[in-house]
């Protein structure tokens, strides 16, 4: 039989969780020991699917090692919680609906399990959003409520000596982009589009967009109509395969182009399609015939036909496809049917008929015409 205090506590927790589920934030939680009850609270209140993208409990040491891809200096530490939160945030970016606020939660705990307790309750909590890192030893439900920007009235009942100081760091846009260039975060979305589609599948046109032009806009529009469903967006890699990375100022200047036309752009740090496929599983990549030439040419895979097949088969396993438009290649207009696509990969490629799209324009030509 629950007493009045227990019932009041449960009611307060439920109210906090309902507020979390009512927020637009989507979360991935990596909780290493001692926090399963809080996960139960999140999952038991209706609306959990609005919030929880994924929850993993690496309970054994080996499970935690495999998740971190290394042996941590300490299994129960603030550093490990911070690393889990960052991993969870990057995972959330890959799983979330485009433009949704993402929260990564990391928790490590060493809680006494016998009474009277034989040791200190030690737990470390970290949350990561696009512009904020927060670390504390407050209760998990309160931390998630804080990160989701909803009120929390739940009291943890910890004594003053048991509560550690909170640590909070905010990131501006330049710092976020620096983290992206350095590989700390995998991509950043600028959701400029008014498209309110909740479709998780993305239709992505990748490029350097130096500059963005009408051909890019029309191509993505036509590809989206052919795909039938999906969230259309552009993707710009800050890292180039054979050039220095873009500077932060260059990235921001190119992003301004998309803001001006109201189109969503993703800034990533992966120049290769097989890596983009890992970042955006299930997506449809819109390419031109000039890109297709390089995509299926073994010389871009150390001269190995087998490596080319293996690499593109990996893209296929992620559920990705390529929507191909005709382009001028070596002085001739080429379409999908002009290419010898390996039989095992043919179902990955979809042709955009020339009568649906043909614009013989390129960013290179535009730069030359401007004397750049």
Q: State how far the Cα of 64 lies from the Cα of 81, in Å rounded to an integer.
A: 11
φ, ψ for residue 45, nearest 5 deg: -90, 130
Q: How far is CA 96 from the centre of its chain?
A: 7
Q: How far is CA 51 from the centre of its chain?
A: 15
Strand pairing class (231-237; 167-170): unpaired
Is the pLDDT assigned to residue 212 strictly greater than 50?
yes
* Bond preceding residue 116 cis, omega within 30 of 0: yes
Torsion of CA 184, 187, 191, 196, to 10 degrees: -120
Which pLDDT does position 309 carry in this prediction? Answer: 97
More confident residue, 124 or 7: 124
Which pLDDT does position 117 carry in this prediction? Answer: 43
Q: Return the DSSP state at 107.
A: E
**pLDDT tens-digit map of 222-273:** 999 999 889 999 999 999 988 899 999 999 999 999 999 999 999 999 999 9
Q: Are 208 and 236 in contact, with CB atoms under 8 Å apart? A: yes
> Which residue's structure tokens are 């934030």?
25
């Amino acid at each position: 039989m629950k007493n009045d205090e227990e019932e009041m506590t449960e009611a307060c927790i439920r109210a906090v969780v309902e507020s979390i589920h009512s927020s637009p934030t989507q979360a991935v939680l990596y909780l290493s020991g001692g926090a399963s009850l809080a996960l139960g609270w999140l999952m038991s209140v209706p609306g959990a699917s609005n919030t929880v993208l994924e929850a993993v409990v690496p309970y054994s040491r080996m499970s935690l090692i495999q998740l971190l891809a290394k042996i941590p200096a300490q299994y129960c530490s603030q550093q490990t919680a911070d690393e889990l939160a960052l991993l969870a945030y990057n995972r959330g970016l890959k799983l979330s609906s485009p433009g949704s606020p993402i929260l990564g939660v990391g928790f490590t705990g060493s809680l006494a399990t016998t009474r009277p307790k034989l040791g200190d309750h030690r737990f470390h909590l970290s949350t990561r959003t696009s512009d904020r890192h927060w670390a504390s030893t407050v209760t998990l439900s309160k931390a998630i409520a804080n990160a989701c920007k909803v009120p929390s009235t739940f009291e943890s009942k910890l004594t003053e000596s048991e509560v550690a100081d909170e640590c909070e760091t905010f990131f501006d846009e330049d710092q976020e982009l620096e983290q992206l260039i350095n590989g700390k975060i995998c991509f950043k979305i600028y959701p400029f589009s008014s498209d309110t589609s909740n479709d998780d599948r993305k239709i992505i046109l990748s490029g350097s967009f130096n500059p963005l032009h009408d051909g890019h806009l029309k191509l993505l529009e036509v590809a989206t109509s052919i795909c039938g469903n999906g969230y259309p967006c552009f993707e710009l890699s800050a890292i180039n395969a054979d050039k220095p990375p873009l500077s932060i100022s260059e990235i921001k200047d190119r992003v301004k182009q998309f803001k001006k036309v109201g189109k969503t752009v993703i800034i990533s740090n992966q120049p290769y399609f097989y890596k983009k496929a890992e970042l955006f599983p299930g997506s449809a990549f819109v390419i031109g015939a000039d890109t297709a030439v390089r995509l299926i040419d073994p010389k871009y895979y150390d001269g190995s036909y087998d490596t080319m097949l293996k690499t593109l088969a990996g893209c296929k396993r992620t559920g990705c496809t390529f929507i191909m438009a005709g382009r001028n290649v070596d002085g001739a207009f080429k379409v999908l049917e002009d290419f010898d696509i390996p039989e095992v990969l043919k179902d990955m490629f979809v042709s955009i008929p020339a009568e649906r799209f043909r614009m013989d324009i390129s960013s290179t030509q535009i730069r030359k015409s401007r004397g750049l």
